């Protein structure tokens, strides 16, 4: 069993010229019978890491995968390459099931795809007991860890089942593993002599941008205006939001379909296929969309709402630009989204709550980061990013001159928040600063405050944008129920003149520069 053999299979069976980074190392390790953990971003080429050894081993390679649709695709694809593979799961008819079992018994099959719950069944385990198993592969291995974003209790039992095949080499693969998850996988699977291969998670061709959510529909329409013939995915937090945005975009003449778990399976498949075949351009979806989608020319991914955590964000943007060409990733960020997520976290308990809180904190850190976004993103995955500027994120592309000093205005604003008793929202504070005669201002006698009218030189909109900057920087906190603004302890340093506030006020632009969407 040599790597030359593997290379020959890569060329002749799969028709590829050369190995992608780490494929050769992983395959060689597996062929030596050493347990291996592979961490590679989506699209990195994980499948070949077990498919090629499977072609070389005498015995069977078992592949545990949580996604039935993915299994089916893979088996069909392998079929086309002439690699004998079958799957066993609940979607098969009795007849299909029996047929697959009979093929397995003859020993002609190289790869067997199984859902974890199928593997756990007595009948499967006794069948496998009769077969020679050379490799036990666990795809989406992060599902085994509570620290992953997709924990599945079923996966925990794999460690047990694995003992049924003491002579088989164990290969675990995942696209998302923080160092913590990585250690978990190794420990739970009791990988002996384990080797971990970590591919770089840096997707250089993705342009990363985070902008303030202002008027999301308008912002998205601006964005789409200059990308008319491009395929893209727009992720929303809820089904309701998906339906709403889908109708809005459709009304504007976009070729768009929705996708979420509330639609029938038939409808979901139809919409997904239409997207892959380019019958439509845009899919508006919840997180339910995307697993196992192999569309190389997705040119943009928009997050209408904040993603749940960095891992899901990374997975979702990872669906763009698989062809290696430039793709746009735009995230619309608002403080109330953060609070929405916080609300869900508060319903949780114990360890689960702790995990969710850390995930949120890391995500916020990324969203509020004001240097190269690849630094916090890649650090999250345990990868050092040494370059100062990637040239492919909003912060790196921002002209130095865009960054302005707003310390003086911030002091005025914060004082006004204090003087009005931290009970009012951004609009009211702006009104007071601008010396407005609005009824609410007069009723509260806020025209008698020392901060009344000290900010006439700025428009209301500018003050509101400043309030967003102050929230972003953690100087102000906004109450979700009535929108009132409160100072945080950090704000004192600004008021005392010990800390300067620099930033960019208008972070709402999403369109390409210079091209206006006619409204």
Interaction site with ligand ADP (CB under 6 A):
16, 19-20, 23, 40, 42-48, 294
Residue 13 DSSP class: T
Q: Alpha-carbon distance 327 to 102, whole Å?
A: 46
Q: CB 294 → ligand ADP: shortest distance, Å? A: 6
- For every residue of 52-110, DSSP letters joined together read HHHHHSSSEEEEE-S-HHHHHHHHHHHHHHT--EEEESTTS-HHHHHHHHHHHHHT--S
Does 397 interact with Zn ion (rule: CB under 5 A)? no
206 binds, among ligand ADP, Zn ion, none (CB under 5 to 8 A by kind): none
User: How near is the Cβ of 205 to ligand ADP at its closest, in Å?
Assistant: 14
Q: How far is the CB of 387 from Zn ion (least distance, A)?
A: 8
Are 258 and 271 spatial neighbours (Cβ–Cβ below 8 Å)? yes
State the nearest-atom distance from the C-beta of 16 to ligand ADP, in Å. 4
Q: What is the SS3 assignment for 256?
A: strand
- 87 bridge partner residues: 113
Structure tokens belonging to residue 296: 């190389």
**133-138 and 231-235 beta bridge pairing:** unpaired
Which of ligand ADP, Zn ion, none has residue 46 at its interface (CB below 5 to 8 Å by kind)?
ligand ADP
Residue 133's binding partner out of Zn ion, ligand ADP, none, with CB under 5 to 8 Å set by partner kind = none
Across-strand partners of 330? 209, 302
Backbone angles phi, psi at 211, to 5 degrees: -125, 160
CA distance 60 to 169: 11
| Residue at token pair 């085994």 | 144
Chosen from ligand ADP, Zn ion, none, partner binding at 16 (C-beta under 5 to 8 Å by type): ligand ADP
**Backbone phi and psi for residue 514, each to the nearest 5 degrees, phi listed first:** 85, -10
CA distance 74 to 268: 20
Picked from ligand ADP, Zn ion, none, the partner binding residue 44 (CB below 5 to 8 A depending on kind) is: ligand ADP
Cα gap 478→463, rounded to integer Å: 15
CB of 435 to ligand ADP, least distance (A): 58
Among 181, 210, 341, 390, binds Zn ion (CB under 5 A): 390
Question: Contacts with Zn ion in 218-247 (CB under 5 A)?
Answer: none
Q: Of the two residues 31 and 220, which places its CB atom closer to ligand ADP in the complex?
A: 31
Least distance between Zn ion and beta carbon 392 (Å): 6
Please report how close the Cβ of residue 283 comes to Zn ion at its closest, in angstroms: 27
Q: How far is the CB of 102 from Zn ion (least distance, A)?
A: 55
Cβ neighbours around 498 below 10 Å, total: 8
- Taking CB within 5 to 8 Å according to partner kind, which of Zn ion, ligand ADP, none is near residue 390? Zn ion
* Radius of gyration, alpha carbons of the chain: 27
- Contact status: 416 vs Zn ion (CB under 5 A): no
The residue among 47 and 451 lying less far from ligand ADP, judged by its C-beta, is 47
Contact status: 372 vs Zn ion (CB under 5 A): yes
Question: Could you say whether residue 417 binds Zn ion (CB under 5 A)?
Answer: no
- Taking the complex as a whole, how short is the minimal distance between the CB of residue 372 and ligand ADP, in angstroms? 25
Lookup: tokens for 490: 């950090």
- What is the smallest separation between the CB atom of 67 and ligand ADP, expressed in angstroms? 11
Report the partner that residue 20 touches, choosing among ligand ADP, Zn ion, none (CB closer than 5 to 8 A by kind).
ligand ADP
Q: Six-digit token pair at 110?
A: 């190289």
Cα distance between residue 305 and residue 335, in whole Å: 10
* Residue 393 near Zn ion by CB under 5 A: yes
Tell me how many residues contact Zn ion (CB under 5 A). 4
- Scanning 140-148, 220-228, 279-287, 396-404 for contacts with Zn ion by CB under 5 A, the matching segment is 396-404
Q: How many other C-beta atoms can be found within 10 angstroms of the C-beta atom of residue 439?
A: 8
**Closer by beta carbon to ligand ADP, 133 or else 175:** 175
With respect to ligand ADP, which residue has the nearer C-beta, 13 or 358? 13
Rule CB under 5 A: choose which of 196, 280, 396, 504 binds Zn ion: 396
- Piece of 53-61, 293-301, 369-377, 429-437 that binds Zn ion (CB under 5 A): 369-377
Which C-beta is closer to ligand ADP: that of 15 or that of 253?
A: 15
Nearer to ligand ADP, 43 or 425 (CB): 43
Q: Which residues are CB-neighbours of 391 under 8 A, at least 6 positions away?
A: 397
Any contact of residue 188 with Zn ion (CB under 5 A)? no
Q: In the chain, what is the straight-line distance between the N-terminal and C-terminal CA atoms, in Å?
A: 65
Nearer Cβ to ligand ADP (20/250)? 20
Please, which residues have CB within 8 angstroms of residue 514's CB and are 6 or more apart in sequence?
none
* Nearest distance, CB of residue 120 and ligand ADP, angstroms: 24
Task: Please identify, using beta-carbon distances, which residue of 63 and 210 lies nearer to ligand ADP.
Answer: 63
Q: Where are the beta strands (DSSP E) in 116-187?
A: 133-138, 169-174
What is the SS3 assignment for 514? coil
> Nearer Cβ to ligand ADP, position 2 or 461?
2
Continuous segment of H or E residues that includes residue 303 = strand 298-303
Coil, helix or strand at residue 386: coil
Instruction: List residues binding Zn ion (CB under 5 A).
Output: 372, 390, 393, 396
């Amino acid at each position: 069993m040599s790597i030359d053999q593997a290379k020959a299979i890569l060329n002749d069976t799969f028709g590829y010229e050369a190995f992608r980074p780490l494929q050769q190392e992983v395959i060689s390790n597996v062929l030596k019978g050493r347990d291996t953990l592979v961490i590679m971003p989506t699209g990195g080429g994980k499948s070949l890491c077990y498919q090629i050894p499977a072609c070389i081993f005498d015995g069977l390679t078992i592949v545990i995968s949580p996604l039935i649709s993915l299994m089916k695709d893979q088996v069909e694809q392998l079929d086309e390459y002439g690699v004998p593979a079958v799957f066993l799961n609940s979607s098969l008819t009795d007849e299909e099931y029996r047929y697959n079992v009979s093929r397995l018994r003859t020993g002609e099959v190289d790869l067997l795809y199984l859902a974890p719950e199928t593997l756990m069944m007595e009948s499967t385990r006794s069948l496998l007991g009769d077969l020679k198993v050379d490799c036990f592969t666990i795809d989406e291995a992060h599902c085994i860890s509570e620290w992953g974003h997709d924990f599945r209790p079923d996966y925990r039992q794999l460690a047990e089942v694995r003992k049924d095949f003491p002579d088989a080499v164990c290969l675990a693969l995942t696209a998302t593993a923080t160092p913590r998850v990585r250690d978990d996988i190794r420990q739970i699977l009791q990988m002996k002599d384990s080797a971990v291969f970590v591919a770089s998670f840096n997707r250089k061709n993705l342009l990363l941008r985070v902008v303030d959510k202002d008027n999301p529909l308008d912002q998205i329409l601006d964005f789409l205006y200059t990308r008319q013939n491009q395929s893209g995915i727009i992720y929303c937090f809820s089904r309701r939001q998906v339906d709403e945005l889908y109708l809005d975009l459709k009304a504007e003449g976009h070729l768009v379909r929705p996708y979420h778990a509330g639609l029938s399976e038939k409808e979901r498949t139809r919409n997904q296929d239409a997207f892959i075949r380019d019958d439509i351009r845009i899919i508006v979806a919840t997180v339910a969309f995307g697993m196992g989608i192999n569309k190389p020319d997705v040119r943009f991914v928009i997050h209408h709402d904040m993603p749940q955590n960095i891992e899901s964000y990374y997975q979702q943007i990872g669906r763009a630009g698989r062809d290696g060409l430039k793709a746009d990733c735009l995230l619309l960020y608002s403080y109330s989204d953060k609070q929405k997520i916080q609300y869900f976290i508060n319903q949780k308990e114990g360890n689960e709550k702790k995990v969710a809180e850390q995930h949120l904190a890391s995500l916020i850190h990324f969203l509020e980061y004001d240097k190269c976004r690849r630094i916090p993103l890649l650090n999250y995955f345990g990868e050092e990013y040494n370059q100062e500027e990637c040239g492919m994120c909003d912060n790196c592309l921002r002209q130095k001159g865009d960054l302005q000093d707003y310390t003086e205005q911030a002091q005025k604003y914060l004082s006004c928040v204090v003087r009005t008793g931290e009970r009012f929202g951004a609009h009211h504070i702006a009104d007071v600063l601008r010396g407005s005669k609005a009824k609410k201002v007069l009723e509260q006698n806020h025209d008698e405050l020392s901060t009344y009218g000290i900010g006439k030189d700025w428009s209301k909109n500018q003050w509101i944008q400043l309030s967003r900057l102050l929230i972003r920087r953690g100087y102000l906190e906004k109450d979700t129920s009535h929108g009132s603004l409160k100072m945080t302890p950090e704000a004192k340093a600004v008021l005392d003149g010990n800390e300067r506030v620099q930033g960019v006020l208008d972070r709402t632009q999403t369109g390409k520069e210079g091209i206006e969407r006619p409204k």
